Structure 1
Amino acid sequence: MRKRDVYYWQERSILKNLDQEWKEHLVFKIIDNENIEGIGAATPNKEFGETFKTSMAIVESLRKITENFEDLNHILEFENKVHSIIKKDMAAKTTVFLAVYDYISNKNNINLENYYFDLNDHHKKNDYERIIINENTKNTVSDSSYIKFDVESYVDPKKLIEIVNNHKNADLTVDFSGLYNSYEIDFIINNIKKDISITLEQPFKYGQEHIAKKYLNMGYKVYWDESFHNIFDFYRIKDYSTGFVFSISKMASLSNISTLLRYVKENGFETIISSKLEHPINLKWSNKISNAFDITDLNYSKYIKTTNK
């Protein structure tokens, strides 16, 4: 006899101010015989080889273990069991793990995130306004003090330079998403106005991080996102880094994030909690743990209109 019931389905966020009309999410719900519930959600990321169809199939494959696992309070044991079955698809695992975290929190009347993170750090955080950039982006100007330009698809370097040069009074981060070669990055940096300070995020694709060493030597900050998934990546690229970008859907579990966060902080690097376009449930968990990080990059309010079935 199963210990609890499990349901899973698709939800869709209707988007605004973007070329894309919607984003599909995975949703997973647990409910026991006392009507205690837990719900989780995540979004497959094509950059990591995930698709909605394959991720949903993996969520379905995790139904039985979630229904029949003896005691979900033994969360690390449950996570290890899931990791032994599913090696890669982090969106699917995140969907299930967040549902379990929510269930444990509700069943025990606790804030589970406090068991993983020190959330009593009240020093001032930088909170980005995210501006998604593509070839159709108009050259707008923001009044925010901290701006992140998220280059989601290749944009002509001259256009990107023009957009950046219109924001001389802000602290800017440009997420290049590994889309440019070293000549293009040089061209962009050399043509940004000298009184504009920028931080480089993922300036090169996975495996080419060493090229960024020269920008560190020139005084630029360099953050890594797509190149950073685990402790092996940390040691592989830390010599070319100022900071590292964490996200729940990239790393799947709070235990993975908290362990990796400790390593990064102990070695003196800056930390960012971020996300792609995500389901509100997923963003809620990211915000719950955001006080453990130096920089918060979770504001998608200007791009998400509604989320529903």
Structure 2
Amino acid sequence: MAERGIQLDIIRHIMIVTKPSDHRLIDSTREVAIWLIESYHQIHVYIDHNFKNDYESVISEHENYKNRIHFWSTNETRENIDLIVTLGGDGTVLFSSWMFQRDVPPLLSFHLGSLGFLTLFDFDDHRRVLRNVIEEGGVRINVRMRLNCSIYRNNKKETDNIDFNSEPSESFQVLNELYIDRGDAGNMLEMILCMDGCQITSIWADGLIMATSTGSTAYSLSAGGSLVHPDQNSILITPIAPHTLTARPMIIPGFKKISISVPFTSRISGWVSFDGRNRTSLALGDTIVVTASTYPLLSICRKDPYEDWFRGLSQILNWNHRIPQRPT
């Protein structure tokens, strides 16, 4: 992640992303949408189509809303969006990242209760924050590295070599991590780990996590991985319950090309998911190639992103908190 100041273009199209299953957010979403439309005549607002029925009466009562309130679905292209506003937790930010598999518009995240590592602004202060972003345009952003994860299938032919110059069968941009696991099998999964085409090692384990620095406070941390400040463009490799105790987590420079294969000598096949989504099977001989994505996530931050991160460690993880001893 690199932190920098930028000047946004004139904002005309704002996409609001909330957790679809949380109906408590309906009123908050409507509050933001109506305020934006009434305060700024040039702005169009895009809302989750799952909330469409909740806006029919509002649109019918205000003719000028009809052409300025739009509804999006996850399978649509969204090339005209100037700003993403998320209401919810870190999962809502991950969902927003997932919807934009190429260029991601600047993202402004509000939490509605507990602070998150990615949701830095309090919803109670949303009007002031939005006003500053829309009217002034000058913001500080965190350029958060994402991982480009490509699956190459071997079609279960042991004698065939995979052509990595060909098009992958599937490819995803990941903000937090990809996770390879053994599924419901009782045996360990064997994986071959390579860097820049050279084999590093073979790992026998329940699974393997490859995370960004942003994802270092998520699943990787639960599996014993290190905390890495998002300013470091790194790839974290964290084995899950490895057979050898010396198979410790590693931190690799983000510019390296990493591949993980399930060899034909493995007793079982595997599974892989990307930021908790698109879970798919890995057959023997399949390979996943991981590189730094050319499409990072641009998240609008407060004045000091380093202070934000350490504050998150303290308030979310209770990092290094201890009960003071009684004086002797």
Same fold (TM over 0.5): no
Instruction: Name whichever structure is richer in strand by fraction.
Output: 2
TM-score by length of 2: 0.26
Instruction: Name whichever structure is richer in helix by fraction.
Output: 1
Higher-Rg member (1/2): 2
TM-score by length of 1: 0.27
